[in-house]
Structure 1
């Protein structure tokens, strides 16, 4: 075993160095996707009214301070991720973003009073909209805006 490792020294060192250089970008990419999901994804909401907004905004840590406006996308994650590809999304604004080919059920939570100390209050608006997202390496990382479905 020692003889095997001794002969693999340079190759093993190169492999470890490669992992060290690649890993931070993969971790950062996953962190951005995780942040997107925390802020904007709720597969099966219970409610979708003002109480829903107050509860989910608090659960997701978006009330320190009270976030003025946040949009939650409802549905399954693979459908949202697919917008990053050509099957479910199209380039938007000179390719900087991707727009969904189909509308998604969404809930917009808008701050309407209160503070981090006295509980943030939100008004909910629910409808179907096309979503415009930024993708990195095939993963959704930023919700730019939504467009009302006609």
Structure 2
């Protein structure tokens, strides 16, 4: 016996998961939506109404989740600060960033003439003129920061914020006669004593003094 089109269509619709409205109205998600976002008889649309309704309906699940998570995030931040994994003042110190750009290269342990020619241009020290002399430090940043924890010594300008340490370096000295942008340098790699000026709290290197 052939079945009519109407029953077949109904079975097909139910198979797609289309739920009758009466069943959807019993859904906890639907009830939560009504509780948080629907008011059939609003008593006003001003700030007082909003405060009253937010107090009556309670905070949303998202807000409650944020309130539960906030102490955990704070604890995580304090833990990272305690371990020294987050150093907010370092990244905010413009002179420190300049020092890193001009004087720190962790990728190599020494360099030749070609290294100096490439790095001096790459680190933007040959834009307006050929910088006569520059030193690249080939040490871990932690080792460089530790130099700032050593005893203070006088700087060339007379200030007492300099510190000294022994590190691996490549000194790049301009050969003379070259011009921007084709500056040419002679390289000298060695392990030697350097003097750097440090500032800030905690102290970070901001100037290569010697």
Shared fold per TM-score greater than 0.5: yes
The two structures have a TM-score, normalised by structure 1, of: 0.70
Matched residue of 1:133: which SS? strand
TM-score by length of 2: 0.51
Report whether the alignment pairs 1:74 with 2:138: yes
- Bigger Rg, structure 1 or 2: 2
Stretches of structure 1 lacking an aligned partner (at least 5 in a row) = 4-25, 146-150
Contact 1:98 1:134 in 2 (8 A): yes
- Greater relative contact order: 1 or 2 (C-alpha under 8 angstroms, separation 6 or more)? 1
- The match for 2:94 is 31
User: What residue number does 2:168 align with?
Assistant: 105
The answer on 1:58 being equivalent to 2:58 is no
Greater strand fraction, Structure 1 or Structure 2:
1
Structure 2 distance, partners of 1:92, 1:107, is: 23
Q: Alignment partner of 1:91: what SS?
A: coil
**Preserved CA contact (<8 Å) 2:199 2:205:** yes
- In 1: Cα distance, 2:110 partner to 2:138 partner: 12
Q: If each structure's helix is expressed as a fraction of its own residues, which one has the higher value?
A: 2
Deviations 1:92-148 (A, max 9, x none): 127331112xx100010011142114x110000111111111111211101100xxx
Structure 2 counterpart of 1:83: 147
Q: State the Cα RMSD in Å.
A: 2.4
Residues of 1 paired with 2:198 and 2:110: CA distance?
Answer: 29
Distance 1:75-1:47 versus aligned 2 partners, 3 A rule: closer
CA 1:52–1:46: 2 relative to 1, 3 Å: farther
- Three-state SS of the structure 2 residue aligned to 1:134 is strand
Among residues 161, 167, 180, which one is paired with 1:96 in the alignment?
161
The number of aligned residues is: 117
Q: Does 2:193 correspond to 1:130?
A: yes
- Structure 1 stretches of 4+ with a deviation exceeding 4 A read 26-29
